[in-house]
A = this chain, B = another copy of it.
Amino acid sequence: MTAPAIILSRPQMGENVGAAARAMKNFGLTDLRLIAPQCGWPNERAKVLASGAGDIIEKARVYQTAAEALADIRLVFATTARGRDILREILTPEAAARRLRAATGEGLATAILFGGERAGLDNDEMSLADAAVTIPTAEFPSLNLGQAVLLIGYEWLKSADATPASRTRKTVAVPAARTELVQLFEHLERELDAAQFLFPPEKKETMVRNIRAMILRSGLSDQEVRTIRGMIVALVRNKYRGKI
């Protein structure tokens, strides 16, 4: 399965091509193609800005027209700033990434087309794309080329990323067994009772319930339960020490 090609049309600044290459590498994209680079090619600034992604710059292929750059591509989306009046399907980056992922899963060569810094893509280039992609922004849309490639690359990686939405390091954070928690509750309540904290008696039950809820909410591990019990022991001992 080959990741989508990133195709930059008439980029004006080598810096931006370098930033695009670096963004690509962060998200597992490697096939960089340039259409008629206005910045000149090869380009020293691009190499410097690419930093650890120099290999992507070295292997970048240069074409004179979009048709040539897209020759082997079977599914291509064109990025556009919003508000452009085109008769065309417009996808969110997330939806575009899902479709690219499905197509590459079927062995198809895919690509995403980015316009130059000033003018974007021209109508001829747009007419070669299967759909447009627009990155949602607030009222101030000033994403540069490197940022646009970064966000599209991020969605590409996310579309196959199995990272759970929330996780906790397993080795250290197995939640405590209920019996450990019950022992903690009883230990704490016994000491609180002895310290006359659970007062007046008619409120004791509610107070205990609230304290237990507060402790449960923190999702303690066995080790943390033991730490808290140690703290209780230490505090109680200290109290007696002060009194005796």
Chain A interface residues toward B at CB < 8 A = 22-23, 25-28, 51-53, 85-92, 94-95, 131, 134-143, 147, 150-151, 154, 157-158, 161, 163-169, 172-173, 221
Would you call A87 and B173 a contact (CB within 8 A)? yes
User: A150-B147, A151-B151, A154-B151 are contacts. A26–B138 as well, Cβ < 8 Å?
Assistant: yes
How many copies of the chain does the oligomer comprise?
Answer: 2
Query: Known pairs A28-B138, A138-B157. 4 more at Cβ < 8 A?
Result: A25-B140, A26-B143, A87-B168, A87-B221
Would you call B167 and A90 a contact (CB within 8 A)? yes
Would you call A25 and B138 a contact (CB within 8 A)? yes
Would you call B94 and A165 a contact (CB within 8 A)? yes
User: A23-B147, A147-B150, A151-B154 are contacts. A95–B165 as well, Cβ < 8 Å?
Assistant: yes
Would you call A27 and B138 a contact (CB within 8 A)? yes
Would you call A90 and B161 a contact (CB within 8 A)? no
| Alpha-carbon gap, A49 to B124, bound state (A) | 33
> Separation in Å of the A20 CB from the closest CB of chain B?
12
Would you call A165 and B92 a contact (CB within 8 A)? yes
Would you call A140 and B53 a contact (CB within 8 A)? yes
In the complex, residue of chain B having the shortest beta-carbon distance to the beta carbon of A99: B166
| Alpha-carbon gap, A52 to B92, bound state (A) | 25
Please name 7 pairs of A and B residues whose Cβ atoms are closer than 8 Å in the assembled complex, sorted by A: A25-B138, A87-B172, A89-B168, A90-B166, A90-B167, A92-B166, A151-B154
